[in-house]
Structure 1
Amino acid sequence: MPGESFRFIHASDFHLETPLGDLDQLPPNLREALATAPRTAAAAVFEAALAENIDFLVLSGDLLHPVAAGPHGMSLLLDNFEKLHAAGTPVYWAAGIADDPKQWPEAVPLPPNVTLFPRDKPLSVPYERAGRVVCTIVGRSSEGRSSLHVPGFQTEPTDEFTVGVGYGAADANALASGRMDYWALGGAHNYTEIEDGAPAGAIQPGSPQGRGLDEAGPHGYCVVDVDAEQTARIHRVETDQFRYCHETIDAQEIRTVGSLRNLLGQKIAALANDNGGRHLLIAWDVALNDPELISSVGDPVELLRQLRRDHGNGNPSAWTTRLTVRPPRTYPKSWREEDTILGDFLRASDKFRKASASNSSTPGNTDASGSTAKAGQVQLMPFTEEHPELSSTATTMLGDVPAQHRDETLDEATLLGVELLRGGKPSWGRKS
């Protein structure tokens, strides 16, 4: 027998206690918008729940840490819960780790339309419309784990469409064994679709607003439409005011356009067009794998200033949060074979790199650059003696470069030497 169609919104991971990150400075024209972006995006979810013709709202964890978010964050939830209560719209909330129910103040009761699922057992709630059960919502809050324990959602099976509400990632096969028609999950900050997890889907909608470069791309919530035949259609709605973008560029692109600055300008225009007029927070990763293009890049520090000045003050703004120009790993063979100081330097650099990568523990010899290469180490201590004004902390840091930074340090040093020896202006900072 056909059922009734219904519609609900699925959202999660508001993290109202967490500001936007990966910003070394705040653009003056964007400071207020950056500060309020998480609240604005979360408020958009509630506005949609009030304005659109939905039956209920599902929230699957990590809305806020009550203590860290404080009264400002809690009031956003409570005020909107009350508005939904006045509109007769139920809210089904499975808490995650940040919004552990034990953290919620006992003196602040939730409105009666809000069902906060328990941690210790699943709760099955029938949703009724005009006296008829339309669907069943089965939920359970997290017990502090980042993964979902599917067997913990076992309840009596029903004929109605069943929505499972929980927190954490899970294997598709495990989700399928849970016999839910739709899994409304939380815990992932980026939109995640777990294929074959349920007939209608297993979705982690992600945060309504991204917080950093590891959360690049669109952010928002999901509208789920279920028809009378229990077929669900999922529609993503974007709510982010600021969109993080992590863009990579190779030498071929620079060569085609002619200069890195012009190329970045073109890409910023394309990103602005593709992202619907939102403010952009962009990290550029430039692989300078063609030594002949060094002069066309210029000084990355100055280029960063230009990008922020030219594109970061508009409305919408395209603010460059980071510009990383990765030096070449290899240089032309003809350069290395020159009977010049440049040739000597590149040969010494190659020898130094091989020594650093070696698994041998025998000390290396002093090379043409005047420094000592020990296997697996980059020893810069001899150079600190030439600069007595260096602090003891700086001297210690230079004395033994950590393993994860050795190749990067060698690349930077080699590029600096090549620029100086070829008569160019050195670019002192490759990372900005």
Structure 2
Amino acid sequence: MSGESFRFIHASDFHLETPLGDLDHLPPNLREGLATAPRDAAAAVFEAALATNIDFLVLSGDLLHPVAAGPHGMSLLLDNFEKLHAAKKPVYWAAGIADDPKQWPEAVPLPPNVTLFPRDKPLSITYERAGRAICSVVGRSSEGRSSLHVPGFQAEINDEFTIGVGYGSADANALSAGRLDYWALGGAHNYTEIEGGAPAGAIQPGSPQGRGLDECGPHGYCVVDVDAEHTARVHRVETDCFRYCHETIDAEEIRSVGSLRNLLGQKIATLANENGGRHLLIAWDVSLSDPEMISAVGDPVELLRQVRRDHGNGNPAAWTTRLTVRPPKAYPKSWREEDTILGDFLRASDKFRKSGSAAAKPASAKDAAASGGQSRQINLMPFTEEHAELSSTATTLLGDLPAQHRDETLDEATLLGVELLRGGKPSWGRKS
């Protein structure tokens, strides 16, 4: 088979109705950029599509929820659709769940260059250039499912390069059975390639801008080049203005540098270099597997303030969204064997853990301290009786600690006790 070469952009999951998340504080120098980041990234897709060497634009779902995004979001789409119409460039749009065609206002017609595929059946369109058929585009909008119904894309197979446009996940075997050359899919917020799904690729390009710590790494769109022999090359183009990073640190890394603050500075410099001058939104997960390194960490709350001050105000900025220091699971044998209050405390902690129990709802704080009960529930309510200033909400939370937080609470309590008994400054909570 031979024909003419062509190029198109494949993008999806703009989610113009959704702001960036996992932020407990908005630094003043980043507020405007954070607010406009999703729109800026989506606009970059349209700017690239307006380039003269792009034949058409393929959009595979979840661009925006019209009601939630409001006029501001809808105008971005419509204005750019109109620009592409003026440039005589088609747009092929398979809607997902957020941008369900039923949500689109009837009073707001789409420009004639935009094909919004129907939900109930596939629609096949032949893209022509100078009166000659170049390729076929077969699309179908989602019926509200997060998985793709491949049999719903049955269409006439011809010798032209055929692009399937849909929304949702599917396995490679099902996609390959569709006998299409390229699957342009949506629904995944991170770039996903389904190997073996189609000769030229079965790809979910992800959102042009990550929204949270579960969407770390580069975000953008795909440019697909197809030559006259129907051989395709897919290029990823990054458009994210802010990049989420989730970094883990162990005790050995801290030991090699001497302090956690210095280590964070080194890692931030590396991340800034690796991510091409973008603003970074970083979560740190620090594992204190070696209790001897407790002093090298210091107070996580104060450390968070320092790191934000040192690195969060630049351009580009590296803003720490979260700093989690995980307490040791075990302490040195020599500490436990000491004939001191610290030794007594650690031995009691070990015994408590091995029993798999917390105090069996003792009548008072004094009884709780002395009890070796066998209930698996941690009941902190008795301790609130000696603190009348606590609110009813606080006492309720203390008295109803979820079972899944039991080990975490024991780790926190043991670390606090160790810090106090070894003469250190307690941090009063390792998560910041």
TM-score normalised by structure 2 residue count: 0.97
The aligned counterpart of 2:311 is: 311
The aligned counterpart of 2:259 is: 259
SS in 2 for 1:281: strand
Residue 356 of structure 1 deviates from its aligned partner by 3.0
Residue 429 of structure 1 deviates from its aligned partner by 2.3
Note closer, same or farther for the CA distance 1:402–1:58 as it changes in structure 2 (3 Å cut).
same
Residue 370 of structure 1 deviates from its aligned partner by 3.5
Q: Are 1:243 and 2:249 matched, yes or no?
A: no
The aligned counterpart of 1:348 is: 348
The aligned counterpart of 2:426 is: 426
Instruction: Detail structure 1 runs of 4+ shifted over 3 Å in the superposition.
Output: 361-375
SS in 2 for 1:293: helix
The aligned counterpart of 2:176 is: 176
SS in 2 for 1:162: strand
The aligned counterpart of 1:337 is: 337
- Aligned counterparts, 1:137-152, within 5 A: 137-152=137-152
Q: Indicate conservation of the 8 Å contact 2:360/2:379, yes or no.
A: no
- Aligned counterparts, 1:18-97, within 5 A: 18-97=18-97
**2:124 is aligned with what amino acid?**
S
The aligned counterpart of 2:234 is: 234
The aligned counterpart of 1:394 is: 394
| Structure 1: 5+ residue stretches without partners | none
**Deviation string, structure 1 residues 66-107 (Cα, Å, up to 9, x no partner):** 000000000000000000000000000000000000000000
C-alpha distance in structure 2 between counterparts of 1:284 and 1:64, whole Å: 31
- Aligned counterparts, 1:96-175, within 5 A: 96-175=96-175
C-alpha distance in structure 1 between counterparts of 2:187 and 2:107, whole Å: 27
Q: Indicate conservation of the 8 Å contact 2:360/2:377, yes or no.
A: no
C-alpha distance in structure 2 between counterparts of 1:183 and 1:76, whole Å: 26
Residue 214 of structure 1 deviates from its aligned partner by 0.3
Q: Indicate conservation of the 8 Å contact 1:166/1:186, yes or no.
A: yes
SS in 2 for 1:256: helix
Mean Cα displacement is larger for which, 372-381 or 187-196?
372-381
**Deviation string, structure 1 residues 341-377 (Cα, Å, up to 9, x no partner):** 111111111122223369xx99899999435654321
C-alpha distance in structure 1 between counterparts of 2:109 and 2:3, whole Å: 35
Residue 206 of structure 1 deviates from its aligned partner by 0.3
**1:55 is aligned with what amino acid?**
D
SS in 2 for 1:294: helix
C-alpha distance in structure 1 between counterparts of 2:398 and 2:189, whole Å: 37
**Deviation string, structure 1 residues 194-252 (Cα, Å, up to 9, x no partner):** 00000011000000000000000000000000011101100000000000000000011
TM-score normalised by structure 1 residue count: 0.97
The aligned counterpart of 1:299 is: 299
C-alpha distance in structure 2 between counterparts of 1:353 and 1:77, whole Å: 57
C-alpha distance in structure 2 between counterparts of 1:259 and 1:369, whole Å: 35
**1:80 is aligned with what amino acid?**
N
Q: Indicate conservation of the 8 Å contact 2:11/2:45, yes or no.
A: yes
Residue 400 of structure 1 deviates from its aligned partner by 2.9
**1:333 is aligned with what amino acid?**
K
C-alpha distance in structure 2 between counterparts of 1:401 and 1:363, whole Å: 13
Note closer, same or farther for the CA distance 1:269–1:172 as it changes in structure 2 (3 Å cut).
same
**1:267 is aligned with what amino acid?**
K
Residue 383 of structure 1 deviates from its aligned partner by 1.2
| Identity of matched residues, % | 86
Note closer, same or farther for the CA distance 1:384–1:86 as it changes in structure 2 (3 Å cut).
same
The aligned counterpart of 2:411 is: 411
**Deviation string, structure 1 residues 128-181 (Cα, Å, up to 9, x no partner):** 111111100000000000000000000111110000000000011000001110
C-alpha distance in structure 1 between counterparts of 2:5 and 2:196, whole Å: 22
**Deviation string, structure 1 residues 93-127 (Cα, Å, up to 9, x no partner):** 00000000000000000000000000000000000
SS in 2 for 1:51: coil
Mean Cα displacement is larger for which, 92-101 or 340-349?
340-349
**Deviation string, structure 1 residues 365-403 (Cα, Å, up to 9, x no partner):** 999943565432112122111211111221111113101
C-alpha distance in structure 1 between counterparts of 2:310 and 2:107, whole Å: 51
Q: Indicate conservation of the 8 Å contact 1:8/1:55, yes or no.
A: yes
C-alpha distance in structure 2 between counterparts of 1:179 and 1:357, whole Å: 59
C-alpha distance in structure 1 between counterparts of 2:190 and 2:374, whole Å: 43
Q: Indicate conservation of the 8 Å contact 2:122/2:153, yes or no.
A: yes
SS in 1 for 2:303: helix
| Structure 2: 5+ residue stretches without partners | none
SS in 1 for 2:322: strand
SS in 1 for 2:308: helix
**Deviation string, structure 1 residues 247-266 (Cα, Å, up to 9, x no partner):** 00001100111110000000
C-alpha distance in structure 2 between counterparts of 1:367 and 1:414, whole Å: 19
